[in-house]
Structure 1
Amino acid sequence: MYKFLISSVLFATISLLPGQADARDDSLYQQLGGTAGIEQIVEDTLFNSIDDRRIRHHFTEVDMVRLHEKLSEQICELAGGPCVYTGDDMVKSHTGMGVTRADFNALVEAMQLAMDDNNVSVTAQNRLLALLAPMHHEIVGL
């Protein structure tokens, strides 16, 4: 027990050393092509979404330039990039939209197609989708 406590304290101390606290895993950010790659994936996702008859109605009154900017920021930040998301939280953004589970799944399909078109590996796609999946309950049925 005592050895475990000492090990825990040492680990916590080492992790707080200068230079260590700012270390981020940006491997997903890099696999997505950095900021330019993410912006292209988001652009393609939005085009795929407005082309999809199942979900295009959700985008008719939307400022697409702002949506592109905020979604790019959000994905960049989640992926470990240098961006900071400055948009509204998901509940505020989606309340009253009536997004269904089928709508959410269609958007995921649109994003997967965009990532395929941009040669993002399946591993990187799965990593990104795993980061976005917890937002489901903040978007669907509000």
Structure 2
Amino acid sequence: MTKLLYDRLGGSIGINQIVNEVVQAHMNNPAINARFLPLKEQPEHLASIKKHTVKFFSAGSGGPETYSGKDMVATHTGMNISRGEFAHGIDDILGVLENNHIDEESKKDVLAILWSLKSMVVSL
């Protein structure tokens, strides 16, 4: 039997680590860091975003967590995220997965999830 994506990503601990590293990668990426660097001055808001992201991805990957935050459209409305910014975000995520030695099948599954969210995130 195939393990859930949640388990292949390391469960709660692994997903927490991945989210933390992705946020750092976004902050280091000059193509999108203007959206993330201001969060350094708002540690409580940044912690909240990370918490919601962990719950969202945990629930969406088959984990036991439930997500009750905003949906993707409500979260990203008004942000005017471009296709290029979305692509840079995906690149950061895939890089973090690679650095964490996540297997190819799991990376493809994550990519499929991210790609399915594109129309809810991109507005330009």
TM-score (structure 2 length as normaliser) = 0.88
Among 59, 64, 67, which residue is 1:77 paired with? Answer: 59
2:42 match: none
Residue 114 of structure 2 corresponds to residue 132 of structure 1? yes
Report how many residues are paired.
118
Residue 87 of structure 2 corresponds to residue 105 of structure 1? yes
Q: 1:26–1:80: 8 Å Cα contact kept in structure 2?
A: no
State the AA in 2 paired with 1:109.
D
1: CA distance, partners of 2:119 / 2:38: 23
Instruction: Look at both structures and tell me which one has the larger radius of gyration over its CA atoms.
Output: 1
Q: Shift of the alpha carbon at 1:86?
A: 2.1
Residue 31 of structure 2 corresponds to residue 54 of structure 1? yes
Gaps of 5+ in 2: 40-44
Gaps of 5+ in 1: 1-24
Q: 2:90–2:114: 8 Å Cα contact kept in structure 1?
A: no
Q: Shift of the alpha carbon at 1:111?
A: 0.5
CA RMSD across the alignment: 1.5
Q: How many percent of aligned residue pairs carry the same amino acid?
A: 27
2: CA distance, partners of 1:130 / 1:44: 20
Residue 27 of structure 2 corresponds to residue 45 of structure 1? no
